[in-house]
Chain A
Amino acid sequence: MTIKFERLDDYRYRIPATKKMRVPGLIYASKRMLDEIRKDESPRQVANVAHLPGILGHSIAMPDIHWGYGFPIGGVAAFDADQGVLSPGGVGYDINCGVRLLASALTRDDVADCLADLSLALHRAIPSGVGSRSHRRLTNRELERVLHTGARWAVTQGYGRENDLTVIEEGGCMDGADSTAVSERAKDRGRPQLGSLGSGNHFCELGYVAEIYNRRIADAFGLREGQVTIMIHSGSRGLGYQVCDESLRTMIRASQKYGISLPDRQLCAAPLASAEAEVYFAAMAAAINFAFANRQMMTHFVRQAMAQFFATTDSKLGLGLVYDVCHNIAKWETHTVDGEERRVCVHRKGATRAFGPGHPEVPELYREVGQPVLVPGDMGRYSFVLAGTETAMRETFGSSCHGAGRKLSRRQAKKAARGRPIFRELQARGVFVRSDSKATVAEELPEAYKDVADVVGVMHNAGVARKVAKLVPLAVVKG
Chain B
Amino acid sequence: MLPAGYRQIDHTADLALELWAPNEQELLVVGAFAVTDIMTDGATVSTDAIRPVRIEAVDAEDRLVQWLNEIIVAAVVDGFLVGDAWVELRNNSLIAELRGEHNGWSRIVTELKSATYHDLVVDCGDLDVRARVVIDV
Contact = CB atoms under 8 A, between A and B. Distances in A.
Q: How large is the interface on B (under 10, 10 to 19, 20 to 34, 35 or more residues)?
A: 20 to 34
Contacts of A253: 58
A188 B77 contact: yes
Nearest to B16: A409
Contact of A69 (B77, B105, B136): B136
Nearest to A235: B113
B137 A410 contact: yes
Contacts of B123: none
Contacts of B11: 67, 409
B113 A94 contact: yes
Nearest to B114: A245
Nearest to A248: B117
B73 A131 contact: no
B116 A266 contact: yes
Interface in B54-68: 58, 61-62, 66
Given A69-B136, A189-B77, A410-B15, A439 B117 contact: no
A187 B76 CA distance: 13
Given A40-B12, A131-B108, A238-B77, A252 B119 contact: no
B113 A264 contact: no
A200 B10 contact: no
A264 B118 contact: yes
A355 interface: no
Contact of B117 (A40, A185, A252): A252
A130 B8 CA distance: 20
A85 to B, nearest CB: 16
Interface string B73-87: 100110000000000
Given A69-B134, A406-B13, A241 B114 contact: yes
A41 B10 CA distance: 13
A431 B65 CA distance: 40
Pick the 6 closest A-B CB pairs, nearest first.
Answer: A69-B118, A266-B118, A265-B117, A241-B113, A69-B116, A266-B117
Interface of B: 8, 10-15, 58, 61-62, 66, 69, 73, 76-77, 105, 108-111, 113-114, 116-120, 134, 136-137
Given A93-B116, A238-B77, A266-B117, 19 more contacts: A40-B12, A66-B12, A69-B136, A73-B13, A93-B136, A130-B109, A131-B76, A189-B73, A199-B111, A238-B76, A248-B117, A249-B62, A253-B58, A264-B118, A408-B12, A409-B10, A409-B11, A411-B8, A411-B15
